[in-house]
Amino acid sequence: MRTLSLRDGRLLPALGLGTWLSKPDAVRQAVRRAIEVGYRHIDCAWIYQNEAEVGAGINEAIRAGDVRREELWVTTKLWNDAHAPEAVRPALERSLKLLGLDYVDLYLVHWPVAHKAGVTRPQSPDEFISLNDLPLSKTWSAMVSLPESGLAQHVGVSNFSLSKIDAITDAVGAAPDVNQIEMHPFNAQADVVAGLKERGIVATAYSPLGSSGRPPGMKNEGELDLLGSGAVATIAAAHDASPAQVLIAWALERGTSVIPKSTNADRIAQNFAADKLQLSDEDIASIAALDQGARYVSGDFWCPPGSPYTVEELWA
């Protein structure tokens, strides 16, 4: 399986299992299945509210002798209500307890957005904290002290623009190891991928299949159908592969990590097999033509009237 090298030389398995929107009662089996077919990278987050079940799957696989802990790469994420420096380590400890693990391989700041302590999802604008009042550099200072504790071996960010990454790197004197962002052919973000590479930061693609399983309330009107794209289907047919495999192979081919979510046993195996699919230069060129900077996860939910956040500033 392809790996990507971090600055300290540690290798991140490029293809991982995503668990956003994986139902708690399905994700334990999904994780076991993934490990059985060869995945060695599991991505989760406190806010997905299934860390206990993800951890149960990991621990069952370890107990069954399918894998050793040190062979696995486990990522989880700091939620927005724990950006205060003194809240960072307790939040990680809470995730570790749920996961039933002694450490994670990677801990990410989930969003460049802060909520008041204990506010999981703000119901009113005053439940946010502005970045002026709680700068990302303060959170990042607390994050970079975690590897020394052994509780998280690496630290990084998610949904951060290059300018936000530069600002926290300059302020703290240490860059993230990883930035996890939405990437797929409709939102290729080639400039961000290149910028992260220059900075020695691994890029991980979330929603690589278009997250078609999002509930209707989270979908945008007239949303593009990534798995149904004609161009992707044509390439898939030529390789006797599925559209999902083409999307995953594309992400791997461009040197990013990628975390397709599935709780279906066959699709978990099918997605893992995409590592073997070799796309041609023509395939890559025809996929490049699909880019239109279209995000499925626009971030507008952080920006209701009166919020200290705007969509432009979020991605700027």
Report, in Å, the least distance between residue 223 CB and ligand A2P. 12
List the catalytic residue out of 39, 48, 107, 296. Answer: 48
Closest alpha carbon to 77 in 105, 108, 106, 37: 108
Please say which residue, 161 or 242, places its beta carbon nearer to ligand A2P. 242
Amino acid of residue 95:
S
Q: Which is nearer to ligand A2P, 37 or 134 (CB)?
A: 37
Nearer to ligand A2P by C-beta: 195 or 260? Answer: 260
State yes or no: is 48 an active-site residue.
yes
The nearest distance, CB 135 to ligand A2P, in angstroms, is: 31
Residues 106 and 160: beta-carbon distance below 8 Å: no
Which neighbouring-strand residues pair with 15? Answer: 258
CB of 172 to ligand A2P, least distance (A): 31
| Closest of 285, 278, 301, 279 to residue 188, by C-alpha | 285
Q: Which residues bind ligand A2P (CB under 6 A)?
A: 18, 207-213, 227, 242, 244, 260-264, 267, 270-271
Pairwise CA distance, residues 139 & 176, whole Å? 12
| Nearer Cβ to ligand A2P (161/245) | 245
Rank residues 122 and 185 by Cβ distance to ligand A2P and give the closer one. 185
Residue nearest to ligand A2P (CB): 213
Whether the CB-CB separation of 316 and 137 falls below 8 Å is answered with no
CB of 206 to ligand A2P, least distance (A): 7
Closest CA to 39 of 190, 211, 262, 208: 262
Shortest Å, Cβ 169 to ligand A2P: 29
CB of 121 to ligand A2P, least distance (A): 20
Give the C-alpha separation, 65 to 59, whole Å.
10
Q: How far is the CB of 28 from ligand A2P (least distance, A)?
A: 14
Q: How far apart are CA 228 and CA 212, in angstroms?
A: 10
The residue among 100 and 213 lying less far from ligand A2P, judged by its C-beta, is 213
Q: Which is nearer to ligand A2P, 167 or 252 (CB)?
A: 252
Annotated active-site positions, please?
Answer: 48
